[in-house]
Amino acid sequence: MSKSIPDAALRRLPRYYRLLSQLQSQGVERISSSDLASLLGQTASQVRQDFHCLGNIGRQGVGYRVESLREQIAKLLGMQEACRVVIAGAGNIGRAVAGYSGLAREGFNVLALFDVNEEMQRSSVGNLQVLPMEKMASFMREHHVTIGVIAVPKNVGQEVADLMVAAGVKGIWNFAPTEIRVPAHIVVEDVRLLDSLMVLSARMRGGAGKK
Amino acid sequence: MSKSIPDAALRRLPRYYRLLSQLQSQGVERISSSDLASLLGQTASQVRQDFHCLGNIGRQGVGYRVESLREQIAKLLGMQEACRVVIAGAGNIGRAVAGYSGLAREGFNVLALFDVNEEMQRSSVGNLQVLPMEKMASFMREHHVTIGVIAVPKNVGQEVADLMVAAGVKGIWNFAPTEIRVPAHIVVEDVRLLDSLMVLSARMRGGAGKK
């Protein structure tokens, strides 16, 4: 697998993936870089450069094969292997993640939520029960969980991350607004909702024209 | 205000803003681009290039003044003017946004949530009441709301966006996993949570080394 995909290109892959999935479901077999670019509101040279990073070079006058390009991106994104996920924190964010149907569709299977709050533990989210936080580590080991979602308050984010790391997690999806420190072999992806709102605010002020 | 900040640089501003705020609260007065870069895990030349876009050139051997740089970025991000916000949809995402204390601290004042569900309308979120959706447009006009948050299901996202646009919104923060079409003078910032999870998954597979 190419290790050399630049981060900026990597972050565009989900968008390509969504568009290609949509085109495929509409029966489109081939598409040119310029048609893709105009559907995405970016330049054709950017599209060609990104796909070139993947080792996929569209043919002049013929374009890209939608199905094979989608499959290639799906593979890079790990969409073809089911992933086991647990969520720490059964507040609004934890519940929103657990209840999001798109996750299961893309192979991310949420197995359980954990919370320290006893009232939360009596509740359920969809068909998932909320379990006591002290059971998280043993549950994760037993079920070979690879992704942990941190949806707990900021002040306990690191503590929960340490538990997940000790329980053998490979990746952490972090919603707590704090920097999480983990060993180098663990991947952390931060979701900073406030940053996105600040970017909206800057764009509203004309700080930048468009996406 | 500079209209020429590239989107990629703009999206790094919130991170600079957070770090500079933290440094300022710790009493740090000046910082070099290389110290900033190592705190952020990026290159010093990237930092210098981004601040150069803002028209701020650090002095050789002296670095940047933390306070003035932070203020400049705050201004670009619109942090110095209070912003009026409403949320359409009082489900988990709407509640999570409404309950996030960081918003008010940065000047984003959530005035109300709206929902079509009558049970939701009898509930409250913090000290905010959930109001009937049919009151949203008149409420927005009356309170000069500039930012609308879309936290409704995908299939009604466009309908809600149209209501917001008609009610004079300037920016839409969209959590619905659907493309929202708006007139050119309205800014839409999409939050695609699933994309971020896909990026985590790709990075776990070695598709990209680091952030």
d(CA A85, CA A144): 9
- Which pLDDT belongs to residue A2? 44
Whether residue B5 and residue A171 make contact (CB cut-off 8 A), yes or no, is no
Q: For B76, which of A100, A200, A202 is closest by C-beta distance?
A: A202
Whether residue A91 and residue B96 make contact (CB cut-off 8 A), yes or no, is yes
- Contact call for residues A103 and B197 (beta carbons, < 8 A): yes
Average pLDDT estimate for A33-44: 89
Whether residue B201 and residue A83 make contact (CB cut-off 8 A), yes or no, is yes
Return the higher-pLDDT residue of A3 and A89.
Answer: A89
Q: For residue B3, what pLDDT band results from cuts at 50, 70 and 90?
A: low
pLDDT at B205 over 70: yes
Give the ipTM of the model, two decimals please.
0.86
Tens-place pLDDT, residues B150-201: 999 999 999 999 999 999 999 999 999 888 999 999 999 999 999 999 999 9
Measured between CA atoms, how close is B167 to chain A, in angstroms?
16
- The region that residue A196 occupies, defined by phi over 0 for left and psi between -120 and 50 for alpha, beta otherwise, is alpha
Tens-place pLDDT, residues B108-145: 999 999 999 988 888 888 889 899 999 999 999 999 99
pLDDT at A16 over 70: yes
Measured between CA atoms, how close is B210 to chain A, in angstroms?
8
- Which pLDDT belongs to residue B42? 86
- Which pLDDT belongs to residue A209? 43
Q: For B200, which of A99, A147, A177 is closest by C-beta distance?
A: A147
Whether residue B203 and residue A189 make contact (CB cut-off 8 A), yes or no, is yes
By C-alpha distance, the chain B residue nearest A104 is B194
Q: For residue A77, what pLDDT band results from cuts at 50, 70 and 90?
A: confident
By C-alpha distance, the chain A residue nearest B149 is A197
* Backbone torsions φ then ψ of A145, nearest 5 degrees: -75, 130
pLDDT at B209 over 70: no
Average pLDDT, chain B: 89
Q: For B197, which of A99, A108, A205 is closest by C-beta distance?
A: A108
Whether residue B187 and residue A171 make contact (CB cut-off 8 A), yes or no, is no
- Which pLDDT belongs to residue A211? 43
d(CA A32, CA B52): 36
Whether residue A200 and residue B96 make contact (CB cut-off 8 A), yes or no, is no
Return the higher-pLDDT residue of B58 and A112.
Answer: A112
Alpha helix stretches (DSSP H) within chain B: 7-25, 33-40, 44-53, 66-76, 92-98, 101-105, 118-121, 136-142, 157-166, 193-204
Whether residue B197 and residue A173 make contact (CB cut-off 8 A), yes or no, is yes
Q: Which helix (H) or strand (E) holds A160?
A: helix A157-166
Ranges B94-98, B154-158, B205-209: which has the least confidence:
B205-209
Percent of chain A, pLDDT > 70? 95
**Closest by alpha carbon to B133, among B101, B167, B82?**
B167
Return the higher-pLDDT residue of A2 and B52.
Answer: B52
Q: For residue A170, what pLDDT band results from cuts at 50, 70 and 90?
A: very high
Taking only Cα atoms into account, the Rg of chain A, rounded to an integer number of angstroms, comes to 20
Interface A–B counts its CB contacts (< 8 A) at 185
Q: For B14, which of A14, A147, A192 is closest by C-beta distance?
A: A192
pLDDT at A85 over 50: yes
By C-alpha distance, the chain B residue nearest A103 is B194
Whether residue A147 and residue B193 make contact (CB cut-off 8 A), yes or no, is no
Distances (CA, A) of A93 to A90, A156, A157: 7, 15, 14
Q: For A78, which of B95, B204, B211 is closest by C-beta distance?
A: B204
- Contact call for residues A178 and A154 (beta carbons, < 8 A): yes
How much is the pTM? 0.82
- Which pLDDT belongs to residue B125? 87
- In the block, tokens 């209840």 appear at A99
Tens-place pLDDT, residues A107-146: 899 999 999 998 888 888 888 989 999 999 999 999 999 9
- The region that residue B95 occupies, defined by phi over 0 for left and psi between -120 and 50 for alpha, beta otherwise, is alpha
d(CA B100, CA B108): 10
Which residue of A197, A203, A205, A210 to mutate against B (max B Cβ within 10 Å)?
A197
By C-alpha distance, the chain B residue nearest A202 is B77
Average pLDDT, chain A: 89
Q: For A204, which of B15, B78, B177 is closest by C-beta distance?
A: B78
Percent of chain B, pLDDT > 70? 95
Q: For residue B4, what pLDDT band results from cuts at 50, 70 and 90?
A: low
Please report residues of B whose CB lies closer than 8 A to that of A96. 91-93, 96
- Contact call for residues B174 and B157 (beta carbons, < 8 A): yes
Tens-place pLDDT, residues B100-118: 878 888 889 999 999 999 8
